[in-house]
Structure 1
């Protein structure tokens, strides 16, 4: 028996096994009764009416800070958009937008 015959035998056995599994799923499981979602339904017993929530305006006024007689313009509130991908990180490092201290592995 050489490697070609051995691999063809393994492929034949796997093909028969796969075909039997497909036939089993098609014919045997078709007869089984279906049970909706299997009882994985989440139910809450208490009913609470919706409440309207109104935000109050901020009472603290944000004023630019003054340093050495010069006013500093605020850039506004900081926001984050979440994480970035490795591709974006490499692009930012190549464009000198961020500072990195070690080489980025490829």
Structure 2
């Protein structure tokens, strides 16, 4: 499920939530609702290659996270932290599947 929020400063962001309500992914802020919608619509066209836009990272504490990039390589958001690489890979699948469900 995709939840769109308007921030106090008038910018927009979205959260991707699992079916049990857990936040899987938080986006960066977008200057307008149109920019946010355009980004989400671009993912509809990329559903077969979406996993190519996930950048796997490790933070300074050794925890794993994922950043999602757009077609231009710009970060549009990130996951929470995972304690294992396998957990991160499972998170990527969950994010991808939830994006697909939320964009239908």
- TM-score of Structure 1 vs Structure 2, range by shorter chain: under 0.3
Tell me the TM-score normalized by structure 2. 0.20
Q: Comparing both chains, which one has the higher relative contact order based on Cα–Cα distances under 8 Å and sequence gaps of 6 or more?
A: 2
Query: Rg bigger for which structure?
Result: 1
Normalising by structure 1, we get a TM-score of 0.20
